[in-house]
Amino acid sequence: MTTGVHSSHAPYRQALGGLGRSAGLVAGARGAVTALAGGAGWPGLLEAAARAGAASAVVDNPVAVPGPALAALLSLPFPVVLERRYLRPDLCDAAVRARAGVPPRAIVVECAGGEAETAGLLGDGIGWARVFAGGELVVRSVGRQAGGLVALLDGPGMLPVTVLSTRLQAPGAAGLLRVGLLGETRSDVTIDPVAGVADVDTATAAGTFRAAPRYESSTRLALRRALGAAVSGEPVADLREWMHDSALAAALLDAVSPPYRQAVSAVVI
């Protein structure tokens, strides 16, 4: 069975080449996966895809947008997959499985990148903390530090989560994300897409285990997930999770740089 993909976004059109006969490019959105760039206006494009009868959608690296535009997306009639380059779902699943149910005692998130990367990178870092914590986070305090911010969040059970974000001087500098978990089992995550690094290490009394490398691109993985959702019709949690993470990122950035709220806002859910 071949599922149609409707897209003018070059990365997704290129990713189709690796999916064989399971997917093919089509001229219209009806019954197909709509694959979109995540620049300004992507919520409106999703709503247009819904009116056109799309079966599912995938959005590449969505930027934060005003809250009212997001609220309507939760009622879209099809599954929406979001590609988050620093928060691959396959890596998240591997990291959680490797811990074998051992809860963390504390989580530390460190991210650094240029101005264009700051909000998305911070949101993805918060997303990693949410995944490891096993639930939503709340902000306890936030303050300035040289070149960025430091914040304390709580996860379920008052799990302490420290977040450090540094804005690099070069506006277009690529991002680096590190996440560390302390406790009886230690986890260390390092994501650097430019360097091709996506490492997840888990240390226990028996030794240190590194998750198998991922050779599939983030773009192809996201498109494949959207194709699977189109066939199954099963809902995915990407939108709601992204809204949670982006709302917290916006709150932290707004606390140290008020003009940020005027440029970008997100819904707190």
Query: Could you give the dihedral angle defined by the CA atoms of residues 62, 200, 125 and 102, in that order, rounded to the nearest 10 degrees?
Result: 120
Residue at 128 is within a domain: yes
Q: What is the pLDDT of residues 187-220, one digit of tens each?
A: 999 999 888 899 999 999 999 999 999 999 999 9
Secondary structure E strands in 168-243: 176-182, 186-192, 197-204, 207-210
- Give the residue from 30, 8, 44, 35 showing the smallest Cα distance to 227: 35
- Is pLDDT above 50 for 180? yes
Average pLDDT of every residue of the chain: 91
Measure the CA–CA gap between 56 and 91, rounded to whole angstroms. 23
Q: Are residues 198 and 95 in the same domain?
A: yes
Print the domain residue range for 201: 89-210
What confidence category does residue 64 fall into, taking pLDDT thresholds of 50, 70 and 90? confident
- In CATH, what number is assigned to the domain containing residue 93? 3.30.360.10
Measure the CA–CA gap between 75 and 96, rounded to whole angstroms. 30
Residue at 127 is within a domain: yes
> First CA to last CA across the chain, in angstroms?
38
Q: Are residues 151 and 182 in the same domain?
A: yes
When divided into structural domains, the chain yields a total of 2
Beta bridge partner(s), residue 115: none
Residue at 22 is within a domain: yes
Tokens of 30: 């009806």
Q: Are residues 201 and 93 in the same domain?
A: yes
Residues 6+ apart with CB under 8 A from 26: 4, 5, 6, 32
- Is pLDDT above 90 for 95? yes
Q: Are residues 19 and 74 in the same domain?
A: yes
What confidence category does residue 268 fall into, taking pLDDT thresholds of 50, 70 and 90? very low
What confidence category does residue 263 fall into, taking pLDDT thresholds of 50, 70 and 90? very low
- Scanning 29-183, the segments in alpha helix (DSSP H) are 42-51, 67-71, 89-98, 118-133
- In CATH, what number is assigned to the domain containing residue 67? 3.40.50
Residue at 206 is within a domain: yes
Q: Are residues 97 and 192 in the same domain?
A: yes
Q: What is the pLDDT of residues 67-81, one digit of tens each?
A: 777 778 888 999 999
Side by side, the strands of the sheet bearing 197-204 are 138-145, 148-155, 159-167, 106-113, 176-182, 186-192, 197-204, 207-210
The conformation of residue 184, written as its DSSP 8-state character, comes to: S
Q: What is the pLDDT of residues 129-171, one digit of tens each?
A: 999 999 999 999 999 988 899 999 999 999 999 999 998 887 6
Q: Are residues 26 and 121 in the same domain?
A: no
Measure the CA–CA gap between 266 and 248, rounded to whole angstroms. 9
